[in-house]
Every structure is written in structure tokens, then in C-alpha cells.
Amino acid sequence: MIEQVLEKAYPEQLPNENNSYYSLFKWYLNTGKNRSIKNFTKESNKSERSLYDLANKYFWRERAADFDQTIRETLYKNELQQESKEEKEHLQNIIQMKQNIIKAMKILSQIDPDEIIKEEDDKFTTVQKLYKLMQTYSQYLKLYEKLDEQEFENICQTENLSQGTKQLTSNITQIINQSNKKTPILLQKLQK
């Protein structure tokens, strides 16, 4: 997955940037967010001066900043989507449990006390059986109420994640629009 994110995040090759310089730039990007020309000199076996010249000529610093921002936002968006998916699955599980409790409560409510009380039972045993039945029913009600609360919390969290994803998408769109505005300036500088 990270390879796909990286491939989509790479800045486009500039018009006057040949393939070998562009490959070198991508290699530079892959050295991580703490990258530096000085460290890259050792890794690439290129002279520091030539790398600084390429970096200035092809705007490596600006393009690397855009690349890093795109990676951060894409990974954050993926994380939000994963959380949203997990929240939805959790909500479905809660709904299923609530449906099962409703079925169990329906079965309990249809039990005729005369069916569980036998003639040979003394009054104490009869009361115990009825108490047990009511206690079970009461526990189902409490569990149902807890699940109802969890369902409400889960719906709120899902809505918050959805709003966060929308805001992030809006931010990404703004950054892309700003990047598109920067590109003609870069192209003008390159044409000079």
C-alpha cells in the first residue's frame, strides 16, 4: 500500500528535467523526511556541489515539501477511512446483538409460568424459578440499554470521522489548487 501512496505522491517531472535527474530526485525523496543534500551525497556518490546545483535548478526543496505534505495527508486520510470502516462494523455488531436480545426477550415473555412450575414444587422453588426468569429478563433489558448507548456513541464517532475526512479532502483540494498555481511560476522560472 505504501508503494501506491508513494507513486501517486511523486511530483511530476519538470519539462526540462531529464529522466536521470528526475530519477535522482525521486531517490532523494525516498531518503525520508529528514533528507539532506549532504547525507544524500554519500548515498548517491555525487558531488555535493552538483547535487546543490540540481536541487536549486529543479526546485527539490519545494517539490519535496509538497511530496511530504501529500504523503502525510494521504496516510491520514487512509487512517480515517480505516477507523470509519471499523466504526461501521462495530455499529453493525451492536445492531445484531440488539436484535438477538429482542428475540431472546420475546421468547422469555412468551413463557407461561405454569409451564416451568411443577405441581411438586414448593412455594420457595416456585418463587426461585419466577425470580430467575425475571432476573434474566431484567439483565437483557440492561444489556439492551448499554448497547443502545454504544450505538449512539458509535454513530456520533462515525459522523465525526466523516466530517474529518470531508475537511481533509477540502484541505487536499486547496493544496492541489495552490500547487497548480505554483507550477506556472516554476515553469516561467525554468523557461528563463
Q: Which portions of the chain are predicted below pLDDT 50?
A: 191-192
- Provide the grid cell at 56: 536549486
- Grid coordinates belonging to 177: 489548487
pLDDT at 84: 75
Distant-in-sequence, close-in-space partners of 63: CB < 8 Å, separation ≥ 6 = 11, 25
Question: What does the pLDDT read at residue 49?
Answer: 94
Task: Return the pLDDT at 100.
Answer: 80
Number of neighbours of residue 15 by Cβ within 10 angstroms = 9
pLDDT value of position 180: 53
Q: What is the mean pLDDT of the chain?
A: 77
Write down the pTM of the prediction. 0.50
DSSP 86-140: HHHHHHHHHHHHHHHHHHHHHHHHT--HHHH--TT--HHHHHHHHHHHHHHHHHH
Amino acid of residue 87: E
pLDDT at 18: 92
Q: What is the pLDDT of residue 133?
A: 74
Cell 422469555 belongs to 108
Q: Residues of 162-179 as b/e, b for ≥16 C-beta within 10 angstroms?
A: eeebeebeeebeeeeeeb
User: Are 71 and 5 spatial neighbours (Cβ–Cβ below 8 Å)?
Assistant: yes
pLDDT digits (tens, 9 = 90+) for 14-32: 989 999 999 998 898 888 8
Please answer whether residues 129 and 117 qualify as being in contact, where contact means their C-beta atoms are separated by less than 8 angstroms.
yes
